[in-house]
Structures are given as C-alpha cells and as structure tokens.
Structure 1
Amino acid sequence: MRQFDDTIAAIASPLGRGGVGVIRISGSRARDIFNKVTNYKDELQPRYATLVSIIDNNNTILLDKALVIYFPMPNSLTGEDVIELQCHGGVRLLREILGLIIQEGGRGAEPGEFLQRAFLNGKISLDQIEGIIDLINANSRRGIAAAAGNMKGELNAAIKRLGSDVLQLAMKIEAEIDFPDDIKNNQAAILDIISNLYRDIGNLIASSSRSKIIREGVRVAIIGRPNVGKSSLLNRLLGEDRAIVTELPGTTRDTIEESFELNGIAVIIVDTAGIRAGGGLIEDLGIARSKRAIGDADLVLILMDAVSGLTPEDKQIINEVAASKKAHLIAANKIDLIKDVSIIDGLAEAVGISAVTGEGVERLKERIIEALDIGEAAQNEIVLNQRQQEALVKAQGSLEVAKIGIEKGAPIDIIGAELRSALASIYEISGEQVSERIIQNIFSNLCVGK
C-alpha cells in the first residue's frame, strides 16, 4: 500500500465565487509551509482561529487576509499536522494561494487523499468513509440521516460485533484441532452459534433492503395521452411551475426530470411527452423517449382525463404498461370539471385528482408511497452500498459451508478456514482486510480536498 511521507494541499471548498474558500494542508511540513506563505512569526494556538496575512513568495504583495486553524498531530482529520486557511472565496485567489503553498514544498493532493491518510493512520474506518461519500451525495432527508449514522460509526459497531463473534468461534474451533472429539461433543452448541451468526448477518442485510432507494431515490414516470395534464401535475407535485402548460396538445416534446420528497425519500418525477399516433418526427422522438422513461421507472403513473373518460388510447397505454409488469397507478385528472368521477366508465378505481386545484393530490401521494413501499423510516435504519452487501453475502456463504462441514464431520482445519474466510469478508467492510484495488476505487469517488 502506498506510503504518505510528504505534505499535501488542496482547495477543500467547492470551486466558485463565494464568501469563504478553504485550503487544507496536511503533513509534517504543514507549519513550515504556512509560515513561509504568511510570514507569521508567533506560535499557532491549536484549534483557535487566528487572523493572518498571506503574501507572495517575494514578500512584496498582500494576497489576502485569512483565518487559520491549526490541528496538531495526532488529533486531526488525517492524524498528521493539519492547517486550514479560510480565505475569501474567489477562484483565481484560491488557486494563487494554493500555487504559493506548492512552490514552498507542498504537493497538490489527489482525490480523497486526506481521508486516505486518515484511514491509513487509523483515524477512520472504510465504512465510515463510505458514509461520508454518501452524505456528500445524499439527495433526501433519509439519505442524509442514514449516511450520517454510518459516518458516526453505527455500521462499524455492528461489523465489529460480528467480526468479534466469528473470530471467537474460529479460535475456539482451531484450539481444539488436536481434540476432534470435543467438536463432536459440542456440535449442537457450535451449530447454534453459527446459525445465530448467519441470522445476524441476514438481519443486517434485510435491514438495509431499502438501501438503494434511500441512497438514490425512486423514479416515477407520468405518462398518458397529450393534454391530459401531465405537466400540470408535475408542477403541482413540485409546488412550482417547472413545465410549460398550454392548451395545445403535444407541447412537451422531451422528458423533464425534477425531484421532490415523500417520507424523506427523493422521488425523481419524469414528465413525458404525450403518447399518441400520427405525430410529426419531433413528437415521435419525444414519444420514444417517453417509452424509455417508462422502462427506467420504478413506478409508472398513468394519467387520464376524467372529462373525456377512458378512451381507446388510454386502454392501449394501460395494457402496454400492465404487460411490462411495471408497478403502476392510474389517476384521473380534471375532476374539478365533473361532479362524480366514479360514474365515468372505467375510471372508478383511479385516483381522482385536479392538478389545477390540488384536490386529491395528497391521496395520490399516499398511493405512491404505498406502491413504492417507502413508508416511514424504521428505527436504526442501516444503509449498505453494493460492496458492503456483497461482503456480507460472502460471509454468509462461508458460514453455511462451515455449518455443513461440521454436520458432515469435515476436518477441523477446513472448518476453521471457512470461518476465517467469513471473518475476512466481514473485515472487508471496515477495511481491516481489504485489497489495494478496493481502497483506490473508494477514494477515487471523493473530490480533491477531502
């Protein structure tokens, strides 16, 4: 694994003009480099903000006045000496100051390198770093809460408990390698322990069954004939005018994607072009995109016009969606223009709504929640990414082989090897046993300065 023995620096705030921009420096020469770019002579007090002047390397031009905070090793983000400069947030200014730091002996940091140093110095586990990545990328309230829990170490605590239990069992079995009769005599108790471990891992996987939904959200495609009110419904769900609404059929020629939240889950709503026969080339291309949006959706919301009732085109759309096995709902729009939606043939089971007045829209949201199974968050909701889920599934597989081995009287060293394999899979999650390739892949998903 790569060793870090130099001093790195990077802009740690998003690029763009703003009130404050942050430059982070980490390494054994952090204070020396800071002194050279500021000509600051006094001793920095740890964890206190100090106002300093940043000057060019000829000591002639004042570039900025900034606040500096010093975090001495080992009690810092990376476990090394860390200095953070809070400068004014101009892009050109920040790059100029970073250039000075590099001229004085710093090296431009690679993506995720600060956290990689923190990991190598034992300041943070791999699953906590993935929690930070999820927190940065979160697009919903529940996504933020789950990622923050992983960042805080809730998943890591569960992994440590599992790892400790598997390790204890492996050590117990391996200690009795010269006494195989003891294994036979304690077979029921050992099988019970393995079954409990298998169940605990299964519970952890099950508790994260909504991980993908919480991390990425769900997609809902609104489809229907032209001019049934798809764009009006999109605007109503968003609470703002995002799509153009006119009386002319076929106004929407392309898909429009926006998002809102239901029960803390991001719902990406897709307004599609009206589906009908006989449109022009541009409209036909829009319809083709609409059908692609249906294929990508977790839920298809079929919108009809309550005034005109169920038309042959509506029936064709419903049949095609039903044949695709996609989860779907039917809504009848414009109920503000009729007295009783239930009297319209074929619409009795549809959710009656008015995109204009908002009538029935809350009920529609409830139906979307039910159809997507995105009810309220469970207590201690744990989110796993694909890498973590795969590691737990591998651990379960090794435990299953160990269980069969004990039942069949396999040699103890083979049983011990399977338990060690399960332990290695569990430790992949926290990073205690993980390949360089996996580490590099994780840190490549972080931005420069993190």
Structure 2
Amino acid sequence: MVSLRWSFKYISVEEAQRIIDKLVSQPLGVEDVDISSAYRRVLAEDVVSRVDVPTHDVTHFDGYALRTSDVRGASPSSPVKLRIKGRAYPSTPRPDVIDAGEALYVTTGSWLPVNADGVLPVEAAIVREGYLEVKYAVKPGEHVIKAGSDVKRGEVILRRGSRLRGQDLTLLTLLGYGKVKVYRRPKVGVISVGDELTEDYEHVEPGKTPNGHALMICSFVERDGGVSMNMGIVRDDPEEIKEVVGKALESCDVVVTISGASKGEKDYVEGVLNELGEPGVVFHGLKIKPGRQTGFAMVGSKPIVMLPGLCHSTIVGYQVVASRVIRNMLGLVVDHEKPLKVKVAVDVKLPQPKGFKRVLFMRVESVEGELLAWPLMGESALVSIPVRAYGYVVFSEGLEEVPKGSLVDLYPLM
C-alpha cells in the first residue's frame, strides 16, 4: 500500500537549484554527430581551428586584382593602363600570377593572384580593348581579406558546453569539421496523472479534460535539447502510477510527472516515488508562485520532477526545475539565450504571499523604440494567459509593488 504522507516543505528556488546541481552534475555521455545534425547540440569538447580562415588571401569585391605599386601615381588626368591577363573565380583551384603592368579580373572570394596586393572594384573600372584604365591609386590591402584574418590555426573558436547555433555550423565547415563530439540528449519520459484526462481532443466528454499539458511539456523538453517521450495518461491509482513510473525509469534518463503532486486525497505521486527507491523525494515545495507544489526526487541516479497540474504552475515548475535538470544532463555551460531587458508599462501590485518569488506572465510591445511589458493577471488555470504572453518575469521575495518604468528581466516563453 502506497503511503499518503507528504514531506511538503517550502524551500527557496536557489536552494532547490543547488540541490539539483549537486545531484545532477554530469552530462550523460559523448557521441559523434554529423554537422548536418548538430544544430542546438551541446559541444563535448573545445573546437580548435585546424586551418587559417581564410586559408589564403582572397578578394573582398568583384573587380580587378593588381599590384598597387603599378598605380601609385594614377589620377583622372593621368590614368594608368594595365593589361587584363585573364579571369579568376572562387572555383579556380589555384592562384594565378600577375607581373608588372598586369591585372586580373576577380570575383568576390577568389584567390588573390601572386604579386597582387589590392583590388580595384568593378564599379570604378574602365575597360577598353583588353586594358584596364585606373584613375586613382589603390592602397595596399584594399578590398583584400588576408589569410587568417577571420580565424587563426590553433585558435579555440567554440567552447565545450556551448549550444551550437546555425552560424556555428557554417564556421565548423570552414574549419574542416564534418563531425563534432556532443553530449548525448537525455530521454525524458512525460507522464500525465489524472482520471479526468483524455487524449481524444476532438470529442471531449463531460468530466474529461484534454491532456494538452503533456504536449506543452514535451515541446519544452525538445526546445531545451532533450528527447521527449510521451508516456501517456495514468489514472489516479497508486499501483498504476508506480508501474508506469517504474517502466519509464528503465527506458528514460529523466521522468517528469504532471499533476498528482499536491496534498489532496488523490495526490499519490510523492508516496509512489518514495517506494520506488532511494533517496526518493528530495524536496517538495518551492517558495515561488505559481509553481509552489513542484517537487524533485531521485531513484538511484535517475531524476524525477513532479509538476503541478494547473497550467501556470506546470510551466513555472518546468522552467525552474525540469529545465535545469535537462540542461545539466546536456552539459550546457555557455547559453546564448539570455532574458530580455524590458520596462514595466504600468504600476504592478504583486500577489501574495509576500515571502515567495512571484511570477507574472507579460505581454510585450515595442513603443517608440522601447520594449514595454504589461502583466497578464489571472488564476493559474487560465491557459490563454501564457498563450498571449511573450514571456514571464520572476519578482523577488519581499516585493509588494513594482513601479511603472522599472527595468526587469523577461524570460521569453518559446
């Protein structure tokens, strides 16, 4: 028989995250992936450039490569004529050679010819009968990209723990990487608990509620870099919950439960987790609202996150606890996704309790070049509020009011 005793005790978000960082501190493992599949994966090693980028001097514009010493005295009244030797393109496999009195037509990204040290843009070129007329001096290095000016061979260009972006993939190809070492993505099993839930979204019978929270949490898992595994709906039955969570622990790296985590007569999840293995529930209750019923457990080395069932609480609990677990398992150290600085557009009176962090979902608009945010107030069950919000703001404990014009950190909710 599953125990119905709860270890519900509120702790600060900071303490909860310290506990998570201590218990979930190591990435899962390393694997090689093709560059074509590496977007948003987390690097498992520093990326060191194998070559100079560019590998050789290249032209920055379409035009004519020349020896700047040949046109040092060029002017509109005394133009210099150079014989056009030929043409070169980025596909040309090796650099041509020009001698005194010669020029070579080049397109952007072409090898700079041997002996050339500048480029006359095509817009300034006058060509007559195979000769280029130059009416002004071209400076050494003008419109030339020098070898190694972008990246030098041996330079550390991307750090371990960085999430790869699209622009990173472009550079990796230039550095000679066809594969990269990344941390394995954690498999996250998502279990929805409740007799009232249904996955028949088109024909919802009386007494039933669509299981949309599972779709939301699975999408958050994918956004954060995990592999979501929707384990379906479990009835409010402790033995059934125990069986499904136990199976999820066998196939997944992390388990997230939704609902059944409060202190009602059908809230069995905590008792089940304590029976599945040591150490069981580590904390249950956070000093943040919404989201205060969120909990965290460990069964052996496997983390389990207990999320509340009301929409706002589900989101906040995921963002504060589950997202951190996944990011730790991914080895994420360098995160380019920072909060936005926005100004509160109106005076805001924060809801109780005062000793808790308070989370408000915010609508954001750009007004005369400034990002302004309006709070969207309402009960935690109202799904349209986070839909209409651009993101959310976490306000510190002790605050009662936030004056209009205050600068705050807004976390986009994508």
TM-score (norm 1): 0.25
Whose strand fraction is larger, Structure 1's or Structure 2's?
2
Whose helix fraction is larger, Structure 1's or Structure 2's?
1
